[in-house]
Structure 1
Amino acid sequence: MAKINISLDAELVVEVMVLAGVGSPQDAVELVVRDYIARGHRTEARTELKDQSLREVEVKPQEPQG
């Protein structure tokens, strides 16, 4: 896998390290990014299931009014 280098605010990285419970800045940021991606996939899966169930609902024609 290709690697990149980025600059981040030190306080931000330290906070992520504490919240993630890891001692390496690289590992902490990688965990946050992987979690963000996983959440996105879970959200997509939930909305896809909801959309499918909405499509499966049969819509009854309305009775003529008047």
Structure 2
Amino acid sequence: MAKVNIALDAELVVEVMVLAGVGSPQDAVEAVVRDYIARGHRTEARTATRDEANRTGEMLPPEPPQG
């Protein structure tokens, strides 16, 4: 896999490390990026399920609030 080097504000990276509970800046930022991508995939999956139900006329039970 290709690697990319970027520069980030040190305070931002330290906060991500603390929130993620990770000791390495690279691992912390990678965890955030992977989580962001996974969240996008989950959103796409939920949207696709609703769109499919609308197309076929099926009624889906309402999703419980997430928070």
Range into which the TM-score falls when normalised by the shorter chain: 0.7 to 0.9
Residue 17 of structure 2 corresponds to 17
Shift of the alpha carbon at 1:57? Answer: 1.0
C-alpha distance after superposition, 1:5-60 (max 9, x if no partner)? 000000000000000001100000000000000000000000000000001118xx
* Identity between Structure 1 and Structure 2 (%): 81
Residue 54 of structure 1 corresponds to 54
TM value normalised by structure 2:
0.84
SS in 2 for 1:7: coil
Q: Alignment RMSD, CA only?
A: 1.1
Residue 4 of structure 2 corresponds to 4
SS in 1 for 2:3: coil
TM value normalised by structure 1:
0.86
Unaligned runs of 5+ in 1: 59-66
Q: Which has the larger radius of gyration?
A: 1
Aligned structure 1 segments of 4 or more residues deviating by more than 2 angstroms = none
* Count, aligned residues: 58
Equivalent-residue separation in structure 2 for 1:55 and 1:22 (angstroms): 44
Residue 62 of structure 2 corresponds to none
Unaligned runs of 5+ in 2: 59-67
